[in-house]
Amino acid sequence: MGAPPTTAAFDPATLIAGLPHLPGVYRMLSASGDVLYVGKARDLKKRVASYFQKSDHGPRIQLMLAQVTGVEVTVTGSEGEALLLENNLIKSLAPRYNILFRDDKSYPYLMIGGGCFPRLGFHRGALDRHNTYFGPFPGASAVRESIQLLQKVFRLRTCEDSVFQNRSRPCLLYQIHRCSAPCVGLVSEADYAADARNAALFMEGREDDVLTALAARMQAASDRLDFESAAVHRDQIKALSALQQRQYVDTAKSLDADAVACVEQGGAACVNLVMIRNGRYLGDRSFFPEHAESHAPADIVAAFLAQHYLQAPPPAVIVVEEKVEEAIEAAELSAALSQRAARQVQIVSRPHAERRAWLEMAARNAELALAQRTRERGTQEVRLAAMREALGLPPTVQRVECFDVSHTMGEATVAACVVYDQLRMRNSEYRRYNITGVAPGDDYGALRSALQRRYERITRGEGVVPDLILIDGGKGQVNTARAVLAELGLSDVYLVGVAKGPERRPGLEELVVGDGERPLNLDKGHPGLHLIQQIRDEAHRFAIAGHRARRGKARVTSTLEGIAGIGATRRRQLLERFGGLKGVAAASVEDLAQVEGISRTLAERIYRELH
C-alpha cells in the first residue's frame, strides 16, 4: 500500500492518514521512481509521520525529503520480518541515502572430505552433508594458512580425487613431509583415518584431546619398537604444543564469536569484523560502506549487522560497542538472527575481559585499514590526475575499462575486460568472453568480438559508458576498437592503446593516442604511467587466468566423449572399471568387451579411437 510517484503534488498528510499502526517497511521515492531510502518501522504511521511533521532533521535527511515525491509501504507480520525485508531491499535496490555494504564474495570454509582417505581442501559455496566443514573464515588466506598447518602436522592429502586415484608414485608433498602418500599405500587406512579425526578435533578447538591421542599412539609405536612411527607422532606433539603457546586468543573452547567495531575519520568509515571460531582467532576482515557520510559509527555498525548476517551465518555471540545498542533494537535483531540461524544468537554490547579485548582488536584493525585506504586513495588520486594530464583528458574522466586477449597458439582464446572506477579496481564488474567463430590467432577478430558483446548492451540502455578504454596492443588493435565503437555510436569515448614497446620491458610502454602516428612515451617513474600499468596488468592477469581455465578444461575433458556410442552411463562404467582414462587406454579389446553394455564392435572402436 502507499502512494507511488505521480504527476500530482505529493501530499504527506494524505499519505500518513492512510497508514496503519503496524510493523513494516517504507520506501521513499523520487520523481523518477528511484528508491531514495528504505527503512523499517515498529509503527509505520508514527515512523513515516516523523519525517514530515518534524523540522529538526539533519542536512542529509532534509536533502532527501526535498526529493521525495511518494512513499510506498509494506506491512509485515513482525518487527523481525520487517528487519529482514528492509535489508533485503537495501541489498537489491542500493538506495542512495542508505548505508550500503557491498560484499558479494561468499565466505570460505576449510573442508575435510568423507569416505576413505578424506581430502583436506578449500571450499566456497554450498555445503555438502557428506563432508565436514570448519569456518567460515574471514578470507582465503586464513583458510590456506590452516590447510598448511594441518598438512604439516597431520599430513592429510590435498589433491583432487581424480589425481589421487591415478597416481603411481608419491608426489612432492610426500617428499617434504606434507602428505603421508595414501595414494600409493604408504599409510594404512586406519592410521590415515586417525590423522583425519585428530585434524577435525584440532579444528574444533580440542587440542588437548588430540595431544592425548597422539601421546597414546606414540607410546604404542614405541612399545612395538616401531621407533620411526613414534618419532612422527613425537614431532606432531611438538608442533601442536608450540602452536598452543602461540595461540593469539585465549578463550573458552568451542566458542564462536564475532567482534564488530567501526572507525570514522574525515567522512570515510571502516567496519572491522574479528572472527573467533571454536575458541580460535581466524582473522579479521574490513568493510568500507557507501553512503555513510555524516552517519555516526554506531549507526554504521547497526547497518552492517543487519546486512552482513543476511548472507553470512551468525555466530553464537556478536560483540559490539555499547552505543550500538542505542542505534539498534538489540533484542529484535538478536531474535531475527536466532530465527535465521535456528539457534540462539546473543548480541553483547557491554563486553568485559577477553570480549573487550576482541572489540579493541577490531577497532585497531579498523583504524589501520582506514589509514591504509586513505593513503592508497591519495596515491590513486595523484595517479589519475597525472594520467589525465598526460593523455590530455578532461577532469571528468573517472571510469576506465581495459581489454586484453589471451591464447596459446590460437587455442582457447579468451578476451577479458577489467574496470577501474572510483579510484579502485571494481572486481565485481570484470567480464571474460570466450571467443568462438574467429580464426585461431586472430587477435583483431577476438578483440572485435569482445568489444561488440561488451558495448552492444550499452546501446540498449544497459550498463555504464566508460570514460576511457585502454587496449592492450598497438595501432592495429586501436584501429579495430575504434571501428567497433563507431559502429555502435560510441565514438566519443576516449581510446588509448598500450603497446609493450621495442624491448617489451615495463616502463617502456608506448601509448597509442589519436591516430597513433606518434606514440606517446612517458617516463618510467610517471604516476600516470603507473596507473595505466596497474590496469593493463590486471587485465592481463584476468585474461590469462580465464584462458588457462578454458584450456585446462578442454585438455582434461575425457576423449571418450567424442566416441560414437559412448554416452554418460557407459563412460562412467568404463572409468569406474579401469580406474580412470589412463586405465581405459591401457585396456585391451577383450578387457573392454567385458564391461556391461560394451559389445565387441564397440570395444574395437574405443580401442581404435584411444590409440
542 φ/ψ angles, rounded to the nearest 5 degrees: -65, -40
- In the structure grid, which three cell numbers stand for residue 192, read together? 590415515
DSSP state at residue 100: B
Query: Is it true that the peptide bond before 136 is cis, omega within 30 degrees of 0?
Result: yes
pLDDT in tens, 561-573: 767 778 778 887 8
CB 510 within 8 A of CB 521: yes
Per-residue confidence (pLDDT) for residue 207, from 0 to 100: 73
Which regions of the chain are under pLDDT 70?
1-9, 103-105, 239, 241-254, 325-330, 502-504, 516, 554-559, 562, 579
> C-alpha angle with apex 587: 581 to 591, nearest 5 degrees?
125
Distance CA 194, CA 212 (A): 13
- In the structure grid, which three cell numbers stand for residue 435, read together? 571467443
Per-residue confidence (pLDDT) for residue 448, from 0 to 100: 94
DSSP state at residue 138: S
Strand, coil or helix: 142: helix
CB 324 within 8 A of CB 301: yes
Per-residue confidence (pLDDT) for residue 483, from 0 to 100: 93
Residue-wise burial string across 56-84, b where 16 or more C-beta atoms lie within 10 A, e elsewhere: eeeeeeeebbebbbbbbbbebebbbbbbb
Bridge partners for 111 per DSSP: 121, 133
pLDDT in tens, 349-363: 888 888 898 999 999
What is the β-pairing status of strands 468-471 and 400-408?
Answer: parallel
CB 325 within 8 A of CB 346: no
For the chain, the straight-line distance linking the first and the last C-alpha, in angstroms and rounded, comes to: 71
Bridge partners for 72 per DSSP: 2, 27
> C-alpha angle with apex 290: 286 to 291, nearest 5 degrees?
140
Distance CA 516, CA 488 (A): 22
116 φ/ψ angles, rounded to the nearest 5 degrees: -75, 145
Distance CA 606, CA 80 (A): 62
- In the structure grid, which three cell numbers stand for residue 510, read together? 608506448
Distance CA 399, CA 393 (A): 12
- In the structure grid, which three cell numbers stand for residue 160, read together? 583432487
Q: Report CA dihedral (28, 30, 36, 41) to the nearest 10 degrees.
A: 0
CB 310 within 8 A of CB 286: no
For 430-443, the DSSP string reads -EEEE--SS-TT-H
Distance CA 391, CA 385 (A): 10
Percent of the chain with pLDDT strictly greater than 90: 25
Using CB atoms within 10 Å of the CB of residue 122, give its burial: 0 to 12 exposed, 13 to 18 middle, 19+ buried.
Answer: middle
Nearest-Å Rg of the Cα atoms of the chain is: 30
Using CB atoms within 10 Å of the CB of residue 159, give its burial: 0 to 12 exposed, 13 to 18 middle, 19+ buried.
Answer: middle
CB 38 within 8 A of CB 27: yes
pLDDT in tens, 50-74: 998 887 888 888 888 989 998 999 9
Per-residue confidence (pLDDT) for residue 377, from 0 to 100: 83
Q: Lay out the sheet containing 120-123: strands in order across.
A: 120-123, 109-112, 132-134
Distance CA 471, CA 478 (A): 7
287 φ/ψ angles, rounded to the nearest 5 degrees: -130, 140
Per-residue confidence (pLDDT) for residue 245, from 0 to 100: 47
Alpha-helical segments (H) within 392-516: 443-459, 475-487
Distance CA 309, CA 288 (A): 16
Closest by CA position to 394, among listed 462, 492, 463, 483: 492
Per-residue confidence (pLDDT) for residue 367, from 0 to 100: 92
Distance CA 491, CA 485 (A): 6
Distance CA 415, CA 431 (A): 9
Closest by CA position to 147, among listed 108, 98, 104: 108
CB 306 within 8 A of CB 333: yes
